Chains A and B, each alone.
Chain A
Amino acid sequence: MSDEQVSKVLEDIDDYKNTAFAMIGLANLYRFDDSAKSFRGDVQFFQGRRFDTSSRNRRTPSSTVTPDLAILVKGQDAAVAEVKVSLPKDRNLWQRVLEQLERYDDDLTGWPTNNGKVKSHDIVLMFHQMRVALVDVLREAIAAGQVRFERPLYGVSFVISTQKDTFLLLRLEMGAPTFDPVRLRLREPVSVPFEVIAVHYGRFKLWDSRPPIPYLMDLIWREVVADRAASDDRFATLRRNSHLPVRLTVNETAEYLQENFAFNQSLGEKHSGVEGERQPLIPHSEWVRAAIDTFAATGLGRWVDDKQEQCEIDYRKENLNVEEFARRYLTTTGGTEEYGGQVAIF
């Protein structure tokens, strides 16, 4: 395990967070009423929501799609977005992104409306400004008939910019949004201050893609393990060379993180029934199991049953931070498999 590998893990964590920031930035664009200088009350946004495709879908007929972000304004103006922070070096592989986008060009079912449908929706391709070449590839693919869109399609780039303050800069790169306020705002680049992200969306840490395991370990350690340990009277006098065992189950840990750190509680609503089925449970139990397994594999705990449902994590007052979890992860089978020979990206 080298410092470069640790840096790579930390870069992946950065990418994971940046993707969340981009989704938040786009959602905020729809939510924020520029004239009233406040949030619109009638905007719903969903991360990783499952939609059913129709039998006429050109790519995946009668199937399910999960766009990164779905936005619904007043039950009528709608958009689905795919967000790309990084792309493979080989441009031939970008075709998959475009095909993925084409899947959303359909009369999707699964909107929170009476019949689960909307009249139409925009399709949004959101990408890092460094990947703006994707727009050319998309235009060429459309011109060549490789992909086709019947619904409005627009592309918006994002970049994190710091001058005096730090903000997320959104810029329209192709097409135009249907929803008037967003179209008007995107006539010029829009800057979303990072403080808006930290304050108004400060609870969202996990979205519908497996986070780097050390990031999840760090979150579980701080928000679950230390939190439980701190409720124990022995916590206050715990010495540096000692530990406090904390019992957890995979499911309760996953549920706790789902309730408090996932993207989808944006409106303070509990989803249940059909609505709940469309919303993914983030983080998945498997991700949590992988994080706990890394605690166990690196001497910070153990499974207490064969099914790997219950575990005991040893809380310690040591310098266990995200870098240390990255180092530990890189010594495990999962870590070496993941970071031993990954596909190059830029």
Chain B
Amino acid sequence: MPPLIKQLLSRLHGKPLEREELLELLDTALGIEPATVYAATVLEGQRVEAEHWRLGGSRCRADRIWETKSSVKLEIRSRHDPGSRESETKYLVYGLRHEARPDVVTLLAFKDRMAFYDGIRRWVHFNKRDLVSPALSDRRFRHILEAFQGTENLSGLVVTRASVRLRMEPQAERASVGFTSVAWPGVPLPQAFQWVWDNNGWFRTLTFDALRGHHEVGRFSLGRRGEVSATQRFSAAFRALCVPLGSTFAEDERAFGHRARRDLKFREVRPLAIEYGRGIFSDASAIRRLASALRLFPNGVVSVYHGNPYLHAAILDQVDGSSTELWVTNAGRILLVPQMRATVWGLKRVVQHIYDTFAEGEVTDVSVPA
């Protein structure tokens, strides 16, 4: 290991560092030695602060090593056999608080791919009520990438690898959601998006080279659940990818917030809709396909009361107990009617599942004339 890297790592593992110091140090390290920073942006729930980051159980838990105003260092202990200490692996990871919204934190691992996959992602997965991950629609995903290109004054983004998920096909009403991984050396971003739309899929992660002129300034990746990686200038990725990811939380809070019946004066309902702007349900098979897709909801349980010719279902989110009813009685939209406990992230998980497995639309407030 080059002495300079040793020195940088020693600084990284030493005294507490603020966000900007950490970003500068990571940029320097990436400039010296080929390496990757892996990051995941999350929204902290109330328990994170109350528990001083000590979240998790015997399978995966974290302990805070130090914390400053703008950053935190954690040790994540991951066990694949909860009863065996020998199966435990410890990872050191860092968290950068977002300036505009301090409860949004980008957790990152330097060089250590396992610290990201077996540490950060596993820990977030086991604590998804308290560590909320972003969930992007195609439109947001593309918008963030295009903005990244503009902000960083790049001449192009060339896709080098994409992992893609394909939605349910109309003929395969009972099939699970498909998965495929595709490598596309040298495909420009618009072409990659065209391919994924033509194939009724979405990008799970997209890895791309950022070009300025003919010069490659680094390889980056963006994931639909807010994962980011960078081989150069992580500070740029943080500002142009992680921060926009963080701002999606506020957009979701505006769309899905204040809908729990319990919080409303007459305990009335405040529905919302996923608008498709076309007669997506004109064909009855689309309702069957949606019902099949709902039954695959990984975060909860779905009761289908009526499935033909209209759809009426009730969905219980098992992450935080959020409850909503779902109706399809209009050819152009899905109606969601939140019930007594309806949380922003519970509703968001339902909508995202529909986006992932059925089709993406636009979430709107509902006003129905009698």
Listed in ascending order, the chain A residues whose CB lies under 8 Å from chain B are 10, 13-14, 17, 28, 31-32, 37-39, 160, 162, 164-167, 193-196, 198-200, 202-203, 218, 221-223, 226-227, 229-231, 233, 235-237, 259-260, 265, 268, 317-323
Contacts and interface: CB of A to CB of B under 8 A. Distances in A.
B320 A203 contact: no
Interface in B192-245: none
Contacts of B183: none
The majority secondary structure among interface residues of chain A is helix
Contacts of A196: 368-370
B191 interface: no
A203 B85 CA distance: 51
B130 interface: yes
Contact of A160 (B266, B301, B310, B323): B310
Interface residues of B, number: 47
16 contacts: A17-B305, A31-B370, A37-B370, A162-B310, A166-B309, A194-B330, A199-B337, A203-B269, A221-B316, A226-B323, A227-B340, A227-B341, A235-B320, A235-B321, A323-B303, A323-B304
Those 3 A-B pairs whose CB atoms lie nearest each other, nearest first: A230-B321, A194-B329, A162-B309
Contact of B329 (A32, A166, A260, A268): A166
Nearest to B61: A237
B87 interface: no
A323 B305 CA distance: 9
B91 interface: no
B80 interface: no
Given A226-B318, A227-B341, 5 more contacts: A193-B368, A199-B368, A202-B337, A203-B267, A226-B321
Contacts of A235: 129, 320-321
Scoring A10, A164, A198, A235 by chain B CB atoms within 10 A of each residue's CB, the highest score goes to: A198
Contacts of A166: 309-310, 329-330
B316 A222 contact: yes
A165 B282 CA distance: 8
A76 to B, nearest CB: 22
Contacts of B164: none
B279 interface: yes
A166 B335 CA distance: 13
A198 B57 contact: no
Nearest to B336: A198
A175 B318 CA distance: 51
Nearest to B266: A268
B306 A14 contact: yes
Given A17-B305, A160-B310, A164-B279, A236 B369 contact: no
A198 B305 contact: no
A203 B261 contact: yes
Contacts of A200: 368, 370
Contacts of A265: 266-267
B149 interface: no
Scoring B268, B309, B318, B330 by chain A CB atoms within 10 A of each residue's CB, the highest score goes to: B318
A38 B370 contact: yes
A165 B331 contact: yes
A198 B271 contact: yes
Given A17-B306, A236-B130, A202 B325 contact: yes
B370 A237 contact: no
